[in-house]
Amino acid sequence: MVFKFLKRLEDPNNPLLGPTVSALRNGGLWQKDRVKSFFYISVHFVAFLFVISQYIELWIIRENLEMAMRNLSLTMLSTVCVFKACNLVFWQDSWKEILDYVSDTEKSQLLKKDEKITNIILDYIKYARRVTYFYWCLVTATVFTVILAPLLIYWTSPTYRESVKNGTAPYPEIMSAWIPIDRTRGIGYCIATLYQIFVTFYGGLVVANFDSTAIVIMTFFTGQLKVLSVNCENLFGDGNEPVSYDEAVKRIKDCHLHHLYMMKFSSQLNDLLSPVMFLYVIICSLMICASAVQLTTEGTGTMQRIWIAEYLMALIAQLFLYCWHSNDVLYMSMQVDDGVYSSAWWSQNVRIRRSLLLLGGQLRSTITFTAGPFTMLDMATFVAILKGSYSYYTLLSQKED
């Protein structure tokens, strides 16, 4: 049943992006119909109001460090979710341009039926599917963990159950957010819980769609750089086949345009991702720190530790996937010009060799993804964020002691 569902997500018009495009449309992040657009925009607005209520609650409970840490870890993640949703909705034309370029490029290459190129494309499509489905499972597990954690804590803690029954403790809540009615008991609690469940599913949907889309497109650029490197190696075959001047210039021009379009659309993708990743890098450092503080607090119960550990793992995995795939693109873009010098350039005349030198110079331009104007998204940044989070954790631990 699962495989049938996944197979339905495939789209011959979008060889790489079939599941991604389907998820964006069904998730309400891309809509053309006015009625549906109004409904989904209303959903986004309701989620935005919820984030505001989380910050109001954070101000109210600011004196209680433990409650503030728990509120902060989820409030910051909610902020990033809303920011990602706005990015997809308001700049969907730019996203669609990139996705159209990805699909058109792959379809034109697959039509040529070159075995090497086809194998490269199929390999990175298979890899992208694995990453996408793994990430969707991770987000789904995180969503259900966040929703079910308060209930599990209630069931596994007799002391807490007794406190709830005698009215000295509030009912367990999924997230800490202010509402203008009493949310600790009765109808107010039911309304708050349903609202929080809705927002949790909404946040999981946005995160799964945005992150998988960005990561899959990064995988595309890595794969296409490999394709370009192979095309450069095969510019003149093995050196023994006759290649006319016009044909040689055409092949060089095709490689140049291939790289030029990749530079253009990777820059466009970076313009979309960079503000989001700048916010996420800052927030992720604080979220990892806050989760680590909660994990090592003496008063934290066993089930709560499990919830925090799973949440912390999801945060680190999310950041790791961005940095890893961005690092792959950077590394491959630094190696792609080797294909020019691995070709049978020696079989060509001086005019062609000069053109090859110009192509080699063009291919030295690297593709980079950044988090704002301050840092690149690579493994060095990932390690630096973990170190910074540990430093914040040490500082907070000493202050608490």
Say which range, 33-47, 52-66, 344-358, has the weakest mean pLDDT: 33-47
Answer yes or no: is pLDDT of 263 > 90. yes
pLDDT, position 36: 66
The pLDDT tens digits of the residues spanning 110-158 come to 888 888 999 999 999 999 999 999 989 888 888 888 888 777 777 777 7
Give the CA dihedral 247, 250, 252, 254, nearest 10 degrees: -140
Q: Determine the average pLDDT of the residues in 54-71.
A: 80
pLDDT, position 33: 60
Q: Choose between 247 and 211: higher pLDDT.
A: 211
Answer yes or no: is pLDDT of 34 > 60. no
Are 291 and 311 within 8 A, CB to CB?
yes
Answer yes or no: is pLDDT of 307 > 90. no
pLDDT, position 159: 74
Answer yes or no: is pLDDT of 262 > 90. yes
Q: Determine the average pLDDT of the residues in 96-100.
A: 92
Kind and range of the H or E run holding 358: helix 350-363
Helix ranges restricted to H, 180-244: 186-233
- Tokens 């349903």 locate to 194
Q: Determine the average pLDDT of the residues in 64-72.
A: 74
- Residue 266's pLDDT band (cuts 50, 70, 90): very high
Q: Determine the average pLDDT of the residues in 340-352.
A: 82
- What are residue 371's DSSP bridge partners? 375
- Tokens 């998988």 locate to 212
* Nearest Cα to Cα of residue 330 among 292, 375, 289: 375
pLDDT, position 217: 94
Answer yes or no: is pLDDT of 306 > 90. no
Answer yes or no: is pLDDT of 267 > 90. yes
- Give φ, ψ of 14 to 5 degrees: -135, 80
Say which range, 225-234, 268-277, 302-311, has the weakest mean pLDDT: 302-311
User: How large a percentage of the chain has pLDDT more than 70?
Assistant: 90
pLDDT, position 297: 65
* Nearest Cα to Cα of residue 87 among 213, 230, 263: 213
Answer yes or no: is pLDDT of 386 > 90. no
Q: Determine the average pLDDT of the residues in 321-338.
A: 91
CB-count burial class (<10 Å; 0-12, 13-18, 19+) for 61: middle
DSSP letters for 230-268:
HHHHTTTTTS-S---HHHHHHHHHHHHHHHHHHHHHHHH
Q: Averaging pLDDT over each range in 59-68, 105-114, 141-150, which range is the top one?
A: 105-114
